[in-house]
């Protein structure tokens, strides 16, 4: 009996040891993207319309990583542990800005610096704020974009404006924050496109 009990204990010990050697599965991280949709431009821009180059957006400290920011107390930034953006928000914003500017129909072409194409106007942008705020119920998303339109040849700032958007989250969780973020971003980009189109029109031929 003692021998049988010893063997049984040894088997349990070996099984426990083998279990301890199994690799630990990493915790799953949910990743999300910034998204917006734009209608194709319905009018052909005039041949003398300016060419616009959209620079890579920047982001203020605290918003320049894939971490998703939330706020429970004013001025204190926190990050969700198991939820993040699929890329740095500023990099995801770049192609959306290009699409928004193209949809305005105000520019002969909209290019990126990597294209090497000559442009008369340059759009600089910065993410000032991108956070889900739990300061009240329901939570809301707060986005602030700062843009500058620059005359490339004259090296002169033509116009500067901040676009500040808030959107109520459909649920008080990270996914609800993503839905609200994309709704707020859509509104912000539409207004940025209108602003830049108006500035380009004011310049004339």
Report CA-CA distances (Å) from 173 to 79, 80, 87, 162, 177.
12, 10, 20, 27, 6
What pTM was estimated for this model as a whole?
0.84
Do residues 177 and 70 make contact, with C-beta atoms less than 8 angstroms apart? Answer: yes
What pLDDT score was predicted for residue 202?
86
Q: Got the DSSP string for 36-63?
A: ---PPPSSPPPTTPPEEEEPPPEE-TTS
Average pLDDT over residues 35-61: 89
Q: Where do the structural domains in the chain lie, given as residue ranges?
A: 50-203
In the CATH scheme, what is the homologous superfamily, with its name and number, of domain 50-203? Answer: ABC-type transport auxiliary lipoprotein component (3.40.50.10610)
**Predicted local confidence at residue 6, as pLDDT:** 47
152-163 tens-digit pLDDT:
999 999 999 999
């Amino acid at each position: 009996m003692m021998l049988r009990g010893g063997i049984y204990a040894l088997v349990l010990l070996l099984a426990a040891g083998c279990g301890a050697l199994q690799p630990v599965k990493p915790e799953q991280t949910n990743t999300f993207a910034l998204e917006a949709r734009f209608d194709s431009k319905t009018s052909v821009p005039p041949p003398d319309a300016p060419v616009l180059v959209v620079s890579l957006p920047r982001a203020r400290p605290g918003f320049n990583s894939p971490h998703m920011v939330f706020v429970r107390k004013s001025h204190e930034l926190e990050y969700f542990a198991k939820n993040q953006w699929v890329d740095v928000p500023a990099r995801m914003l770049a192609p959306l800005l290009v699409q928004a500017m193209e949809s305005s129909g105000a520019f002969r072409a909209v290019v990126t610096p990597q294209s090497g194409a000559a442009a008369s106007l340059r759009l600089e942008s910065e993410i000032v704020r991108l956070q889900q705020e739990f300061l009240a119920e329901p939570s809301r998303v707060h986005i602030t974009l700062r843009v500058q339109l620059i005359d490339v040849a004259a090296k002169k700032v033509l116009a500067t404006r901040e676009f500040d958007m808030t959107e109520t989250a459909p649920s008080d969780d990270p996914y609800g924050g993503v839905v609200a973020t994309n709704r707020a971003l859509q509104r912000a980009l539409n207004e940025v496109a209108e602003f830049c189109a108006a500035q380009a029109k004011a310049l004339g031929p």
